[in-house]
Amino acid sequence: MESDNGKQYHVQLEKGDVGKYVLLPGDPGRCEPISRLFDNPQLVASNREYVTYTGYLDGVKVSVTSTGIGCPSAAIALEELVRVGADTFIRVGTSGAIQKDIKSGELAIISAAIRDEGTSLHYMPVEFPAIADIELVLALQRAAKKTGAVTRTGITQSKDSFYGQHEPERMGVSQNLLNRWRAWEIGGALCSEMEASALFVIASMLRVRAGGIMAMHGIEPMPPLDTLLDTAVQALREIIAVDKAAGKDVG
């Protein structure tokens, strides 16, 4: 859907505004700090929860676009970014730890997501898995080795309710929420956030690549997110190098 000005209705972008490679934080306030890690970053659009900066890494155009909170707004961002030419996406943000031994600041490289949200059900039946692109998982792992980040690779739970996670006892479905959380823990899921599953499902449908890396919040205070952002940007460098070696168009 385009606005009267020819730009995508929500993100207010058109072809040429963004690179093929895009980082997707939820918080608009994280876009400018991430963009500082690019060469020659420029603010290209700001509308609602969607803020976009574009710059360069190793001579290749790259971008960062905020998605806001939750799968509905993240789905809109992904759909519209694909329409203007982007095809490789890394979700970057924070999450709540599920495993009790996780320390605040450890990074989760997401291999798949539990579809505990409603948006992706408007795209594919619940039996369809939400899987991260394997090339991006590997790129994130290589990036983490270079930045020295402490990481785990595994599954996230994507949900619709922040307070359903943090204050389940006061909800009318408290026992169900607590039982399901216990199931995710038993199953080995690493963390809980609010966007990855829809991004993975929609990316699969659109034949584009999506991955994710999240800083996990445990019992201790969360440290600064510098390592998270450095690792996400390094992962873009890694996947760009892979694509160049394969002779792919990197834009």
Fold of the domain built from segment(s) 21-244: Rossmann fold (3.40.50)
Question: How much helix, strand and coil, in percent to the nearest 5, is found in the chain?
Answer: 35, 30, 35
Distance CA 108, CA 215 (A): 6
* CA-based nearest residue to 24, from 14, 34, 36: 34
The yes-or-no verdict on residue 4 having pLDDT over 80 is no
pLDDT-derived band at 5 (thresholds 50, 70, 90) equals confident
Integer Rg of the chain from CA? 17
Q: What pLDDT is attached to residue 66?
A: 98
pLDDT-derived band at 73 (thresholds 50, 70, 90) equals very high
**In this predicted model, what pLDDT tens digit does every residue of 16-54 receive, in sequence order?**
999 999 999 999 999 999 999 999 999 999 999 999 999
Half-sphere exposure in the Cβ direction for 245 (13 Å, CA): 6
The token duo for 180 is 């399901």
DSSP character string of 72-91: HHHHHHHHHHHHTT--EEEE
**Mean pLDDT throughout 124-153?**
98
Averaged pLDDT score across all residues of the chain: 97
**In this predicted model, what pLDDT tens digit does every residue of 106-137 receive, in sequence order?**
999 999 999 999 999 999 999 999 999 999 99
Q: What pLDDT is attached to residue 2?
A: 74
1-10, 67-76, 97-106, 142-151: range with lowest mean pLDDT: 1-10
Tell if the pTM clears 0.85, that is, is over it: yes
Q: Where are the domains of the chain?
A: 21-244
The yes-or-no verdict on residue 88 having pLDDT over 80 is yes
Q: What pLDDT is attached to residue 30?
A: 97
- In degrees and rounded to multiples of 5, residue 13 shows phi and psi of -125, 155
pLDDT-derived band at 238 (thresholds 50, 70, 90) equals very high
Type of residue found at 113: A
Distance CA 24, CA 40 (A): 19
Query: What is the enclosing helix (H) or strand (E) of 127?
Result: none
pLDDT-derived band at 1 (thresholds 50, 70, 90) equals confident
**In this predicted model, what pLDDT tens digit does every residue of 185-234 receive, in sequence order?**
999 999 999 999 999 999 999 999 999 999 999 889 999 999 999 999 99
pLDDT-derived band at 6 (thresholds 50, 70, 90) equals confident
